[in-house]
Chain A
Amino acid sequence: MKEYVLSVKVANNNGVLLRVASLFSRRFFNIKSLNVAETETPEISRMTIVVAGDRKILEQIKNQLLKLYEVQEVNILDNAVCREHILIRAGRSEDDRHKIIEIANLYRAKPVDIHPDSIMVELTGEPAKIDSFIDLLKPFGIVKMVRSGISALERD
């Protein structure tokens, strides 16, 4: 199944996230990630939703979303800047920590919290870059991590 990125403009009201999430859940659409925050207009929020499926399901998702009163616009992004943010803590020794800093430098990831044995770094980038960064850190032992999910905007 392919993954698609939807950009959804919604009214910034109480419960709108629940309405959207409830729609996905009751229609058995698969959310890979969902990211929501206010836009330049405080009354409007933008959700970036990554879904798995085929074109037919994608069309269904779009049409069903548009039926929600608080959903104002749904765009399927083909040509967009997609970014994800990660916070990740890894390492079991001082040696690990040094090696992680080396890798972090290559990825331009930023150390944000340092312990004697481990280190927390942050990185923003395309999801593929985040994936490969995680893979490189795995041998050092990932203590904990959080990914933000994709946020995206169409190129002009």
Chain B
Amino acid sequence: MKLSGSDIIVECLLEQGADTVFGYPGGAVLNIYDSLYKYSDKIHHIITSHEQGACHAADGYARSTGRTGVVIATSGPGATNLITGIATAYMDSVPLVAITGNVSRNLLGLDSFQEVDITGITMPITKHNFIVQNVEDLADTIRLAFRIASSGRKGPVLIDIPKDITAAFAEYEKQPAQAPFELPELDNADLDRAAELIKNSVRPYIYTGGGVIASDASEELKRLAELCDAPVSSSLMGQGAYDETDRRYIGMLGMHGTVKAAYALNHCDLFIGIGTRFSDRVTGDTSVFGKNAKIIHIDIDPAEFNKNIDVYTTVSGDVKAVLSALCEKIEQKHNPEWCSEVLDGDFGEPVQQGTEELPVTPQAVISKLDELTNGEAVISTEVGQNQMWAAQYYNYRKPRHFISSGGLGTMGFGLGASLGAKVGNPDKTVVNIAGDGSFAMNLNELITASAHGINIIQLVINNHVLGMVRQWQRLFYEKHFSQTTLDARHIDYVKLGEAFGIKTLVIEKNEDIQPVLSEALEISKSAPVMVEVRIDRDINVLPMIPAGKPVVDPITAISLDD
């Protein structure tokens, strides 16, 4: 059957099961939007306030559902507005297909109106990208883009489509979605070596990253932890892969990890890193990271082996397959002394304190949110203190419930991401935990929430400062709070919400926490809602390991007076 290029695009999206897309129309994608109009009963398009928000929404949709997210933007500025979103997805290995329009082929390369070389620009931040040169290649290019995005270590793929190609006609035949590319078979010798190390260890320690979630390997991870009789810790990205309420879970490792997790790192004899890339935010000083332990590194991407830290042995493959094979090779271990030393030990984890004037702490609010939602809400975050607090004080029970920009650290990510997460999980409570700084970056997406009835809860933890940068300025820049005090911004959040049609509540006393959160949860059943949480500006994120320092004895208190 002969179809227009734009109809072929929509048909191919449907082939891939992509029935929800995020985007923003414009000149070069007029034909595509005409097809979306025609297919509006089959494909749900959500227009955001800005292409960046659309890209983060597609990302949040992908992270929370495991499906490939789709974002559509027009040429030129539409395409460049996607860049932060694409780079965010790339750093966190999120499967995403970005479709951009471009000017017609006869105008390419001539500095035409709204022309930009988006394939050139996105080369370093995509797994692969395409510019479609013939309408006959269009369908297969889209199919291949989805396949690349969801194969191996997942990631974003961009397809740039000149406008005349969306208008041209080609033969189209429906095809089933293809399975991801196959990975090489597991190396049995590598598995045996890992199993032998596990067998001989008496103080094993399991550390998990986002790869466990990407590979849907939570069950296998749980089994391995039981068999090894080991404590389990996680990176920021790995949160929820292992039930954080389980006795074996000892919190995050790294810059803002728990004291317990740091202790275990330095006292274990075997460190099993699973689906992780050993980010500098976790390892600190790499020359002493896990220096008393042999390190096994399990990952789908061999390029991560010995990249950031030197390891003892590696197992390459899909985490689920590797863990499943590894569990077959090891027998039940018993390390009661080690487990009791770590799991039952009191390591003096810090507790947050408010002030007399502003007594509320993020810890109290987020812990209460955890309690009221049974730890089952999907939590997205912005970047900075809000992100660390959301990571530390909410206990993620399941994978795909913590949605955060770990690698790129994108302020302004969370609100867009929460919209995508809610669209992908309409029956779940979705909360974006933001600071006032990050929130201001992309608060325009509140419009999207109210316009489309995407019933998220927007929590703004308002301390009137860029708290994380302020924290570093206090510690390392002699309290020169350069450009991080936002007192000149007199924002009335209640009115702001009202302007966008979003009811806004305020928490300013400890007695407010429970009733306000309960009310917000109730409202979110039928409408989006915002909560401003007023806190003191000098509540810091603790524990803390300064960048590049060994992950030993984290800072647990920061004096405000010296």
Contacts and interface: CB of A to CB of B under 8 A. Distances in A.
A68 to B, nearest CB: 8
Contact of A69 (B124, B128, B301): B128
A128 interface: no
Interface of B: 119-120, 123-124, 127-128, 148, 153, 301-303, 305-307
Nearest to A15: B119
B303 A22 contact: no
Given A69-B128, A69-B148, A18 B303 contact: no
A35 to B, nearest CB: 21
Nearest to A23: B124
7 contacts: A18-B123, A19-B123, A63-B302, A63-B305, A67-B153, A69-B128, A69-B148
Contacts of A64: 303
Contact of A60 (B127, B128, B153, B303): B303
Nearest to A60: B307
A59 to B, nearest CB: 7
Nearest to B304: A63
Interface of A: 15, 18-19, 22, 26, 56, 59-60, 63-64, 66-70
A59 B305 CA distance: 9
Given A15-B119, A18-B120, A67-B301, A56 B306 contact: yes
Contact of B124 (A26, A56, A60): A26
Nearest to A26: B124
A70 B119 CA distance: 15
A69 B149 CA distance: 11
Contacts of A70: 128
B148 A22 contact: no
Nearest to A56: B306
B124 A22 contact: yes
A69 B127 contact: yes
A70 B129 CA distance: 11
B427 to A, nearest CB: 37
A24 to B, nearest CB: 11
Contacts of B302: 63, 66
Contacts of B127: 67, 69
A154 B303 CA distance: 24
A60 B303 CA distance: 6
Given A15-B119, A69-B148, A63 B303 contact: yes
Contacts of B119: 15
Contacts of A19: 123
Contacts of A15: 119, 123
A33 to B, nearest CB: 22
A18 B121 CA distance: 11
Contacts of B305: 63
Nearest to A63: B303
A70 B148 CA distance: 11
Contacts of A60: 303, 306-307
B123 A22 contact: yes
A56 B123 CA distance: 25
Contacts of A59: 306
Contacts of B306: 56, 59-60
Contacts of A69: 127-128, 148
Given A22-B123, A60-B306, A67-B127, 8 more contacts: A15-B123, A18-B120, A18-B123, A19-B123, A63-B303, A63-B305, A64-B303, A70-B128
